[in-house]
């Protein structure tokens, strides 16, 4: 019996390791291996920062931003393999905008984007370069914003968007709960993903009037999603009650049947 349990545990652990191995291997690029052994700004610092980032969590690695060949030590940082390197200060919005297209558009039109050539803020100013974290309302705070200007305007923007951000968080939680019980939430996930990205793109305009005007539209979209989720949760709740009642009836019927059987047995 013990031997069977041991073999079973070994099989489970082996299965887990086989599942994890491709993910770990995909992160171990020559960029990480080489720079991780260096000291300072070109080595352990950016690698350690990247490992804490949302980019790392989604397997966006060095070569996805900086180009090059992540499988070849000799050719990794060559132009023929598409190596870009570190962008110049004013090129950073375009550098990040290759993926974050809509955000770059709103940034370019904003006060921030208009003063870029005079040393104005760019993506890494607020989001960092390698330790990029999940974009939330918490990025709008007095410590960060006061590095360049007063916190008065950012505080108004944060106040304007806080209710919508809270609604996004609640809906994400509801969708996750439904997904855990086996409900197909792909439609809700796609809708919320699109709404969230469009809404957070709006932040980069840093235009309080524009944000105030367009937030109402996002609130309407989110209210429709909330209503649909509430109806689905209500339906599931009803099914659970009906299912529970059926189980109780079956148990009760079993008990009655057992009592009848015992009565006949005694007779």
Give residue-wise pLDDT tens across range 74-96.
999 999 999 999 999 999 999 99
- CB-hemisphere CA count at 13 Å for 200? 18
From the list 86, 78, 83, the residue with the least C-alpha distance to 67 is 83
pTM for the whole structure: 0.70
How far apart, in whole angstroms, are the C-alpha atoms of residue 239 and residue 233?
10
Q: What is the pLDDT of residue 22?
A: 37
Q: What is the DSSP letter of 38?
A: S
Query: Which of 2-11, 74-83, 204-213 is least confident?
Result: 2-11
How far apart, in whole angstroms, are the C-alpha atoms of residue 80 and residue 83?
7
> What is residue 264's three-state secondary structure?
helix
Q: What is the pLDDT of residue 196?
A: 87
Determine contact, residues 89/103, Cβ cutoff 8 Å: no
From the list 108, 113, 66, 71, the residue with the least C-alpha distance to 85 is 66
Q: What is the pLDDT of residue 156?
A: 93
Provide the pLDDT confidence category of residue 61 given band limits of 50, 70 and 90: very high
- Given a cut of 60, is residue 154 above it in pLDDT? yes
């Amino acid at each position: 019996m013990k031997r069977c349990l041991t073999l079973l545990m070994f099989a489970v652990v082996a299965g887990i390791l086989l599942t994890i191995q491709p993910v770990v291997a995909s992160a171990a690029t020559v960029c990480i291996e080489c720079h991780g052994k260096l000291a300072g700004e070109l080595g352990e610092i950016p690698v350690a920062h990247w490992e804490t980032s949302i980019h790392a969590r989604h397997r966006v690695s060095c070569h996805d931003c900086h180009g090059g060949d992540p499988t070849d030590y000799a050719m990794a940082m060559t132009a023929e393999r598409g190596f870009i390197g570190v962008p110049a200060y004013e090129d950073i919005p375009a550098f990040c905008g290759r993926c974050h297209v809509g955000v770059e558009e709103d940034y370019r039109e904003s006060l921030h984007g208009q003063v870029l050539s005079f040393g104005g803020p760019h993506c890494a100013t607020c989001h960092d370069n390698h330790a990029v974290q999940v974009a939330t309302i918490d990025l709008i705070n007095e410590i960060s914003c006061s590095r360049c200007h007063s916190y008065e305007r950012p505080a108004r923007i944060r106040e304007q968007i806080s209710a919508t951000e809270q609604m996004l968080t609640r809906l994400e939680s509801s969708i996750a709960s439904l997904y855990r019980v086996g409900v197909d939430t792909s439609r809700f996930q796609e809708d919320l993903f699109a709404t969230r990205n469009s809404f957070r793109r709006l932040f980069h305009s840093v235009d309080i009037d524009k944000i105030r005007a367009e937030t109402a539209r996002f609130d309407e979209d989110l209210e429709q999603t909330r209503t649909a989720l509430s109806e689905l949760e209500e339906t599931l709740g009803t099914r659970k009650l009906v299912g529970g009642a059926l189980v109780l009836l079956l148990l009760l019927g079993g008990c009655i049947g057992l009592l009848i059987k015992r009565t006949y047995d005694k007779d």
